[in-house]
Amino acid sequence: MPDPSGFDAAHPPTTHIVATVNGRKVARTVPIHYRVIDFVREELKLTGNKEGCGAGECGTCSMFVDGTLIKSCLAPVQKIHGRTVETVDDLDADQGMTVIQRAFHKCGASQCGYCIPGMVMAATSTLRKRPRASLDEIKEGLGGNICRCTGYQKILDAVAMARDVLNGTRPETDLEEAATDSFIGSRTRRLDAPAKVTGAIKYAADLWMPNMLHMQVLRSPHPHARIQRLDVGEARAMPGVECVLTCDDVPGVDNFGVFIEDQPIMARGMVRYVGEGIAAVVAETADIAREAVKRIRVTYDLLPGVFDPFEAMKEGAPQLHGFAPGNICKHTRIRKGDVEAGLGEADLVVQETYRTSALEHAYLEPEAGLAYLEPDGCVTVMSPSQNITHHRHMLARILGRPINKVRMIMSTVGGGFGGKEDMLYQGMLALAAIRTRRPVRYVFTREESIAASAKRHPFSIDYTMGLRRGGLIVATRMIMVSDGGAYAMSTPGVMNKSAILGPGPYTIPNVWVDAIGVYTNNTPSGAFRAFGAFQSEFATESHLDLCAERLGMDPAQLRRLNLMQDGATTHTRQPLDRVAATACLDAALAAARWDPGVPHREARGEPARIDLGGPGTRAPCTLGLGTMATDKETT
Amino acid sequence: MLTFDRYVTATTLDEAFDALQATPGARLVAGATDLLPWAREGRAGDVHLPALVDVGAIPALTAVTGEDGVLRIGAATSIAACERHPLLLRDAGLLARCAVWFADDQIREQATLGGNLVNASPAGDTLPALLAMNARVVLAARDGAGIRERAMPLADFITGPGRTRLGNNEILVRIDCDAVPGHGGAFEKVGHRRSLVISTVCLAVLARLEPARRTLADVRIAIGAVGPVPERLGDAETALRGQRPTPAAIREAAVLAADRVRSRSRQEYRREVLVNFVERGLVAALEQCGLAVQRLPQEIVHA
Largest alpha-carbon pair distance within chain A?
A: 82
Higher pLDDT, A514 or A151: A514
Name the pLDDT band for A623 (thresholds 50, 70, 90): low
Is the pLDDT score of A632 beyond 50? no
CB-based contact A175:A161 (threshold 8 Å) = yes
The number of residues making up chain B comes to 303
* List of chain B residues whose C-beta atoms are within 8 Å of the C-beta of residue A635: 84, 86, 89
Q: How far apart are CA A145 and CA A519, in angstroms?
A: 37
Is the pLDDT score of A634 beyond 50? no
Name the pLDDT band for A611 (thresholds 50, 70, 90): confident
A585 in helix, strand or coil? helix
- Compare CB distances from B106 to A69, A79, A447 and report the shortest one's residue: A69
Which of A142-151, A221-230, A296-305 bottoms out in mean pLDDT, i.e. has the lowest? A142-151
CB contact under 8 A, B48 and A143: no
**pLDDT, tens digit, for every residue of B67-117?**
999 999 999 999 999 999 999 999 999 999 999 999 999 999 999 999 999
* List of chain A residues whose C-beta atoms are within 8 Å of the C-beta of residue B101: 624
- Compare CB distances from B109 to A55, A70, A143 and report the shortest one's residue: A70
> Which residues does A344 contact at the CB level (< 8 Å), separation at least 6?
none
Which of A73, A46, A45 has its CA nearest to residue A59?
A73
A623 in B contact zone (CB under 8 Å)? yes
CB contact under 8 A, A54 and B36: yes
Q: How much is the pLDDT for B145?
A: 86
> Which residues does A500 contact at the CB level (< 8 Å), separation at least 6?
A334, A570, A571, A572
> Bridge-partner residues for A500, per DSSP?
none
CB contact under 8 A, B33 and A71: yes
* List of chain A residues whose C-beta atoms are within 8 Å of the C-beta of residue B96: 628, 632
B108 in A contact zone (CB under 8 Å)? no
Q: How far apart are CA A544 and CA A599, in angstroms?
A: 11
Which of A192, A48, A187, A228 has its CA nearest to residue A120?
A48
> Bridge-partner residues for B53, per DSSP?
B8, B28
A604 in B contact zone (CB under 8 Å)? no
* Nearest chain A residue (CA) to B1: A33
Q: Share the mean pLDDT of chain A.
A: 94
To the nearest 10°, the Cα dihedral for A540, A546, A552, A553?
A: 30
B43 in A contact zone (CB under 8 Å)? no
- Helical residues (DSSP H) of A149-220, grouped into ranges: 152-166, 193-197
CB-based contact A395:A382 (threshold 8 Å) = no
Name the pLDDT band for A607 (thresholds 50, 70, 90): confident
Is the pLDDT score of A212 beyond 70? yes
**pLDDT, tens digit, for every residue of A107-120?**
999 999 999 999 99
* Mean per-residue pLDDT, A20-32: 98
Which of A460, A371, A446 has its CA nearest to residue A414?
A446
Which of A296, A290, A284, A297 has its CA nearest to residue A241?
A284
* Nearest chain B residue (CA) to A605: B302
How near does any CA of chain A get to the CA of B183, in Å?
Answer: 14
How near does any CA of chain B get to the CA of A432, in Å?
Answer: 24
How near does any CA of chain A get to the CA of B255, in Å?
Answer: 25
Q: How far apart are CA A55 and CA A480, in angstroms?
A: 38
CB contact under 8 A, B110 and A15: no
CB contact under 8 A, B195 and A144: yes
B160 in helix, strand or coil? strand
Q: How far apart are CA A249 and CA A264, in angstroms?
A: 12
Q: How far apart are CA A199 and CA B178, in angstroms?
A: 48
Q: Which residues of chain B have pLDDT under 50?
A: 302-303
CB-based contact B82:B96 (threshold 8 Å) = yes
CB-based contact A275:A433 (threshold 8 Å) = no
* Nearest chain B residue (CA) to A287: B1
* Nearest chain A residue (CA) to B80: A68
CB contact under 8 A, B106 and A627: no
Is the pLDDT score of A223 beyond 60? yes
Q: How far apart are CA B132 and CA B130, in angstroms?
A: 5
* List of chain A residues whose C-beta atoms are within 8 Å of the C-beta of residue B97: 624, 628
How near does any CA of chain B get to the CA of A378, in Å?
Answer: 35
**pLDDT, tens digit, for every residue of A350-382?**
999 999 999 999 999 999 999 999 999 999 999
Phi-psi region of B260 (alpha: psi -120 to 50; beta: other; left: phi over 0): alpha
β-pairing, B231-232 vs B216-224, is antiparallel
Number of other CB atoms surrounding residue B169 within 10 Å: 12
Name the pLDDT band for A184 (thresholds 50, 70, 90): confident
Q: How far apart are CA B96 and CA B85, in angstroms?
A: 9
β-pairing, A225-231 vs A297-302, is antiparallel
CB contact under 8 A, B54 and A624: no
Q: How much is the pLDDT for A136?
A: 87
Q: How far apart are CA A7 and CA A300, in angstroms?
A: 27
CB-based contact A371:A439 (threshold 8 Å) = yes
* List of chain A residues whose C-beta atoms are within 8 Å of the C-beta of residue B100: 140, 623-624, 627-628, 632
Which of A175-189, A279-293, A432-446 bottoms out in mean pLDDT, i.e. has the lowest? A175-189
Q: Which amino acid is at A351?
A: Q
B50 in A contact zone (CB under 8 Å)? yes
A510 in helix, strand or coil? strand
Q: How far apart are CA B2 and CA B41, in angstroms?
A: 11
Residues 109-138 of A with CB under 8 A from B: 122, 125-126
How near does any CA of chain B get to the CA of A75, in Å?
Answer: 6
**pLDDT, tens digit, for every residue of A50-73?**
999 999 999 999 999 999 999 999
| Whether the model pTM is above 0.80 | yes
B301 in A contact zone (CB under 8 Å)? no
Q: How much is the pLDDT for A622?
A: 61
B61 in helix, strand or coil? helix
Which of A401, A371, A373, A394 has its CA nearest to residue A383?
A371
* Nearest chain A residue (CA) to B189: A624
**pLDDT, tens digit, for every residue of A495-532?**
999 999 999 999 999 999 999 999 999 999 999 999 99
* List of chain B residues whose C-beta atoms are within 8 Å of the C-beta of residue A68: 109
ipTM of the complex: 0.95
Angle, CA of A24, A25 and A31, to the nearest 5°: 120
Question: Which of B2, B3, B55 to mutate to probe the A interface, most A CBs <10 Å?
Answer: B3
Q: How far apart are CA A181 and CA A189, in angstroms?
A: 13
CB-based contact A371:A382 (threshold 8 Å) = yes
Is the pLDDT score of A410 beyond 60? yes
Q: How far apart are CA B177 and CA B133, in angstroms?
A: 6
Which of A13, A167, A186 has its CA nearest to residue A108?
A186
How near does any CA of chain A get to the CA of B152, in Å?
Answer: 31
DSSP one-letter string for A392-428? HHHHHHHHT--GGGEEEEE-B-S--TTTTTS-SSHHH
> Which residues does A509 contact at the CB level (< 8 Å), separation at least 6?
A336, A337, A342, A474, A475
CB-based contact A518:A313 (threshold 8 Å) = yes
* Nearest chain A residue (CA) to B198: A57
Q: How much is the pLDDT for A91?
A: 96
